[in-house]
């Protein structure tokens, strides 16, 4: 890495400013959009205001988690994660809570991943960008109490057992999610062209409810080149907080260049 630390911080701040702007918008009237990450609408109250969200308050395997590397156990039987390598059609939505990239399930071949701790194949349904207003408070997962500016989450559903994501999200072995977050947007020499194209589409949806078509995405190129990851059984991180998710958290950053931010 040739860029200095100050350059990396400045670039990350500019990207965070863009993402914070994208999250702005009017309050939704629908109950399903009532929740937020702050105040009386925040996670502390999700399980109290809606009986369908009770797991958010009383669940035993809730995500996100604070990862303590000293407590991790090495499993020599875990396999490498395997993914498809073809492009898929997708579209980007600003829903007011985050930026979500939905994979077009009716066009072309689906994109699936398996291996690692997974006994089934999982079909990618959507990707979420989580971000905050500061340099270190955007990620949902933490490491030893530390948050990070950004977290990218790739969600797939068990296509061998279930026909749809909606059915899988409250079912056993239903969802697998890949999380990329520690320093994932640090400045490096490698130009992640897939992320570059995605960021350009994000710039086209500055307000809640806006949609941008983004076709022919190579999802495998968003992943870091490493076989190392941490895995645990957890939940969705938004209401209804179903405990049906196998999480894979990669420990390598995603590199982008100064021009990408």
* Catalytic residue list: 162
Other C-beta atoms closer than 10 Å to the C-beta of 48 total 12
Helices (H) and strands (E) counted in the chain, each on its own, are 5, 12
Of 72, 112, 65, 118, the residue nearest 235 (C-alpha) = 65
Q: Residue 256: which residues within 8 A CB-CB, separation 6 or more?
A: 185, 186, 187, 188, 190, 191, 192, 195, 196
Of 133, 122, 123, 131, the residue nearest 100 (C-alpha) = 131
| 8 A C-beta contact, residue 116 and residue 80 | yes
């Amino acid at each position: 890495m040739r860029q200095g630390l100050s350059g990396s911080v400045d670039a990350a701040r500019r990207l965070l400013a863009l993402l914070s702007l994208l999250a702005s918008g009017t309050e939704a009237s629908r109950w399903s959009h009532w929740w937020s990450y702050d105040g009386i609408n925040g996670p502390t109250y999700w399980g109290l205001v809606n009986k369908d969200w009770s797991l958010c308050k009383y669940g035993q395997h809730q995500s996100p988690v604070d990862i303590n590397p000293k407590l991790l156990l090495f499993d020599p039987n875990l396999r490498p994660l395997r993914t498809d390598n073809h492009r898929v059609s997708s579209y980007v939505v600003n829903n007011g809570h985050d930026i979500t990239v939905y994979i077009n399930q009716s066009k072309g071949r689906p994109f699936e991943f398996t291996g690692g701790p997974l006994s089934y194949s999982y079909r990618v349904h959507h990707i979420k960008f989580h971000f905050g207003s500061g340099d270190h408070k955007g990620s949902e997962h933490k490491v030893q109490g530390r948050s990070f500016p950004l977290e990218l989450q790739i969600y797939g559903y068990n296509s061998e057992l279930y026909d749809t994501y909606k059915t899988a999200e409250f079912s056993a072995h239903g969802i697998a999610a890949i999380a990329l977050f520690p320093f994932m947007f640090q400045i490096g020499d490698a130009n992640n062209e897939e992320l570059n194209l995605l960021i350009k589409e994000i710039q086209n949806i500055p307000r809640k409810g806006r949609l941008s078509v983004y076709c022919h995405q190579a999802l495998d190129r968003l992943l870091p080149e490493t076989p190392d990851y941490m895995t645990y059984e957890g939940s969705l991180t938004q209401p209804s907080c179903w405990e049906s998710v196998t999480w894979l958290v990669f420990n390598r950053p995603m590199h982008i260049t100064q021009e990408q931010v």
